[in-house]
Each structure stands twice: as structure tokens, then as C-alpha cells.
Chain A
Amino acid sequence: MTLRKLSDLKILLENKPVKRLVLAAAHDTQSLGAVLKAAANHIIQPILIGDEEEIKKLAGEGNHDLNGIRIINEPNIEKTSEMAVKMVHNREADVLMKGKVGTSTLLKHILNKSWGLRTGHLLSHFAIFEVKTYHKLIAVTDVAMNIAPNLKDKISIINNSVNCLNILGIDMPKVAVLGAVEMVNESMQATMDAALLSKMNQREQIKNCIIDGPLAFDNAISLESAIHKGIKSEVAGDTDLLLMPDIEVGNVLYKSLVFFARAKVASVILGAAAPIVLTSRSDSEQAKYDSLLLAAATAK
């Protein structure tokens, strides 16, 4: 299956029960707006935890309909996080979303050993882009969560992302491990890790995907460029997932795709018991909405 547009994700929701999303500290203009819009389009079924009075006020200001929507009144922000995480833990909700609460506060609860959302996997950020100049959606990881992943982390990050892409109907995603060059260079750890990841994939120690790397960005996304360089690769030019060497590269690529290439993006945190939506204030309305779409499509 090939996904060309973020709106194609909606096809994956057809004929399936609407996923339940719990919004922690829901009295937040931006996230509340996105959630209510998604609810109106039957993308998700929201549960709002937060200051009820404030929620109603904000919904009114944004002309959103709260009819039939479950609200749990809890003005204490710390408490809203705990309650939201527990609801997901107890399978009363399928997706967790951050509202007016700090990321670190929410993460603390997510990582709680007795009632958090740990699965033994590393948490990682997964972003999927619709870029006009590429022939299909392209996923990028990790641009926001893991700062300088080591080899073991990279394996987890790939596994999280591949699992997600499998759920999205891409059976054997092509994974490009990015470097500055396509050659192995002992002075560049990213290229060394890429070689190891390729071998582990070849030995089926990393499954359900095809990994090649190091690939420079151009080789990864342009077949012409790969041919020009004489690279024989199943991945080159047809990449489904780009693995970033570190957060700096990832973050800059993410932002240049959005700002220079006018790409549309959806993102979600993977590796927990349920997908987590952690959009930031700088994300566009569209990005928030599409992230909910992605989370709903990814949720069990």
C-alpha cells in the first residue's frame, strides 16, 4: 500500500470503531480546538480532563460544539496528567494527548512504573511528511525525543517506526539510515552505525523492513542521485523512513521541510502502550489535526 497524502490516513479508519482520545489538561485553546475538530469529523472520540469551566469557555470562543463530549472536571494540571495516563493504562482510552501541561510532567506519569504506559521499548518521536516533490509519504525519526541515540537506541527507534508503518499498511518499509556521505567512514559514527544496522537487518535481527545506510539525503530520496553515484540499493530513491543520526539533524530537516518545502506533517510519540500526541505550540492547526489522524490510525 502506498500513502501519498496525509488525508489518505483517513482511509485506514474506515469501518473501524472510533478511537478514544484522552486530552490531559484540556483547557488549552490549541489542542482543544484540534481535538474538537477531529471529533466533529469522527476521527477520534475525545475525553477531556481539565478545568471544565475553562474548557467550556474556550470551546465557546472557538465555536466548537461540546454536545455529547465527556468532560472530567479537574483543575489541577498535575492530576489531569495522572488521570489521563491511568485511563490509557486501564484501556479506557486508546490515545493520549498533551494539553496545557508541560511535556516533562506528562512524561513523568507516562513513565510511572506501576500505572504508566511503559512497554519496555524506548519512546521515540515519529513524524510523517507529505512533500509535494516526493512520490509518497515519507516518515522521519527521531526529530524531537532522543537527542543522540546510540546503536541500541537506533534499533529501538527503527522498530517503533517500522511497527507503526506496518500498521499503516506499509509491509516492508524501506529505511534509509542517513549520513553525510554514502560511504563508510570511521570518523563518522553515523556511517558506522548504519553499516551495523544494515547487517542486523540482513540477518533478520531487525525485521519487517529493508534497511540501507549510510545514505546521504540525496541518495535516500532520489533514485537519479543514487544511480549517479553508482549506489546499488533497494532503498535509495524510494525511502519510506529516514533515520536521523541525531536530534540536531532531525530537527533541522523537520523544520526545513515544513518551512522551505511547505510540507504537511503529522507526528506522534511511539513506544508507549498507546500513541501519544505531543504537538507543540508552533505546529500549525493542520499539523495538529493530521497528528490526531495519525494517532487514531496507529492506535490499537
Chain B
Amino acid sequence: MIKSLEQLAELVKDKKDKPKLAVTWAQDENTLGAVEKAARANMVDAYLYGDRARIESISSKLGLDIDLFKIQHVDNELEAAKETVRLVKSGEADILMKGLIGTDKFLKSVLDKERGLMKPKAVLSYVCAVDVPDYHKLLFITDTAVLPFPDLDQKVAMAEYAIEMAGRFGIKKPKVALIGASEKMTKHFQNAVDYAIMCKMAERGQISLCTMDGPLDIFLACDKKSVEIKGVDTPVGGDADILLFPTLESCNPFYKGLMLFGRGELAGMLMGTEVPVVLMSRSESEKSKFYCIALSCLMAGKNN
């Protein structure tokens, strides 16, 4: 079982058949730094699509080893998107990563019905593996980035993705906490209603193998003492592996709080695509960016 992001990064290094990472519109300082680090760690082969001159000048400014990059010059970001998406779709590359291209344009290429990367009828969502020193294990949280107000079907997809990711880390039956403000079941909160339905679906095997409970607040999900004090009978019991949030606006501040105040690091990626797609916020730490690439290597499945 992979118990930390550091361990994750170690695990995906130095593999014989290392994955090919295609970077869309690569001339971005943040992106190039993280990609070079991953390539230097012998995690990926880096294929950069972008403005060759800009890539070279940034690399020299940052002192990056440009020999670690295979650069393909393209004239504009749309061409970069078209080419890199085609590359991963055809299997010539294994992982797609966003560079300087705008997120909306990038996602548009990913979501393109014919040439894009979505699995049939899949929901696009985002899962993060978070490593916080004060929690006794990795915490998978969703959705920090894509679905603003997930409905029941989308929440089920989010749970499935998180369970899938936890599975890749070696967690066979993850404890899934469906997060709310309280553990009480009330029909006036649509999220609580959705959660109750999901719990039953999990019980009936309509959701992949897991121990699911919700609504639960963060304390009941992650703190055994709170479970004792409150006396709530919950199978998650303060030992959650996965936290599913009701909205993007609750999940996003939660993870950012962990990063900023909890000395956390993360590894996150898009889910619902045929191949791993790395998409991260500029303000992520250098380490987290590196971990995002490591995660995509794990999820690409070539190194298992």
C-alpha cells in the first residue's frame, strides 16, 4: 500500500517502460519546472508542444536540463492542444498535461466528442490525494476543481473515481465519508438526501466496494474521538480514506486550507478520461506539482 506521496513518487521512478508525457503549450515556468523534475527523476519522457524559442529561453533562465525535453514546435495553443490530444488518443503518449494554454480551451479539446479523451458517457471530475502530517494516512478528496454543484449521478461518479484512485494506492475497501455540516439526515438538504441514497447504493453493490457513510461532518469522518463523543454509529468511524464534498466551493477551500495551514501536499488529476490528464493550479507548491505527475504515472498504469 502506498502511504505517502513521497512513497508514490519513489514507486513510479526508474521504470523500464516509463510513460510518455505530452505537454500542451509548454512554455510556462511552473509547468517546465515540474516536468523537468519528473523527467530528471526518470519518471516520464517529456514531449513538449509549444513555442520552441520560448521553451528554450525559460529553460535556460531556470537552469533546466533541456536535453530532458523532446520539443515539438507548434504555432499556437489550439494546434498544441490538437496535437497533444491526438498523440495520447493514438497511444503515442500516455499522459496529457496542461501548460500555458487556458483551462477552458484545454478542457474543450479534452471534452471534444470525436477527437477528445472522455470515456463514453463519463463524468469529468477531479480527485486529489492529500498528504497531511496530522492525519494518519492519505486522504482522497473530491471534487476540488471541476463540478460546481454535482447532482446524484455526478456524486456517484465522484465516489467511483475516488475509490478507483484509492484502489491504485492499494486500498481495497476504502472508507468513504460523504461530507456535510452535520450527520443528521434531513430531506431539506438535497446533499443529505443524495448521500442517504448513495449509502444504500453502496450497501446494495450499486457502487464499487467501499464502506460508505454520510452525511458526516469532517470531525466524524476523520477524528475517532469526535465519533466517541458524539456517539454516532458510523462505519467510517473517524478513519476516512475518501472525503466527498457536496460542492466545489466547499471542497476547494478545504484542500487549500490543508495546503496552507496544515502543511499538506497534494497529487491531483482529472478523472473520467481515457488517459490521465494533469491539470493543476499555478499556486500549487513545486512538490505538489511533481506529485501530480507522479500520480498520473501511477494512474497510467504502465508502472504497476
Contact = CB atoms under 8 A, between A and B. Distances in A.
B185 A184 contact: no
A204 B196 CA distance: 14
Contacts of A196: 185, 187, 193, 196-197
Contacts of B187: 151-152, 196
B232 interface: yes
A81 B167 CA distance: 67
Contacts of A205: 184-185
Interface in A178-219: 182-184, 186, 192, 194-196, 198-200, 202-205, 214
Contacts of A68: none
Interface string A262-273: 000000000000
A199 B196 contact: yes
Nearest to A233: B203
Contact of A195 (B183, B197, B233): B197
Given A151-B187, A200-B185, A203-B183, A192 B204 contact: no
B233 A202 contact: yes
Contacts of A182: 204
A261 interface: no
B57 to A, nearest CB: 54
A246 B195 CA distance: 24
A152 B193 CA distance: 13
A203 B197 contact: no
A16 interface: no
B185 A194 contact: no
B122 interface: no
Contacts of A152: 187
Interface residues of A, number: 21
Interface residues of B, number: 19
Nearest to B207: A184
A199 B232 CA distance: 12
A13 to B, nearest CB: 36
Interface in B211-247: 232-233
A232 interface: yes
B205 interface: yes
A72 interface: no
Nearest to B203: A232
A230 interface: yes
A37 B5 CA distance: 79
A214 B201 CA distance: 10
B181 to A, nearest CB: 14
A183 B206 contact: yes
A184 B184 CA distance: 20
Contacts of A186: 152-153
A231 interface: yes
Contacts of A195: 196-197, 199-201
B195 A184 contact: no
A192 to B, nearest CB: 6
Interface string B52-63: 000000000000
Given A199-B185, A200-B196, A214-B200, 16 more contacts: A182-B204, A183-B206, A184-B197, A184-B200, A184-B201, A184-B204, A195-B197, A195-B199, A195-B201, A196-B187, A199-B199, A203-B183, A203-B184, A203-B185, A205-B184, A231-B204
Interface of B: 152-153, 183-185, 187, 193, 195-197, 199-201, 203-206, 232-233
Interface of A: 151-152, 182-184, 186, 192, 194-196, 198-200, 202-205, 214, 230-232
22 contacts: A152-B187, A183-B204, A186-B152, A194-B200, A195-B197, A195-B199, A195-B201, A196-B185, A196-B187, A198-B199, A199-B196, A199-B199, A200-B185, A200-B196, A202-B233, A203-B183, A203-B185, A204-B233, A205-B184, A214-B200, A230-B205, A231-B204
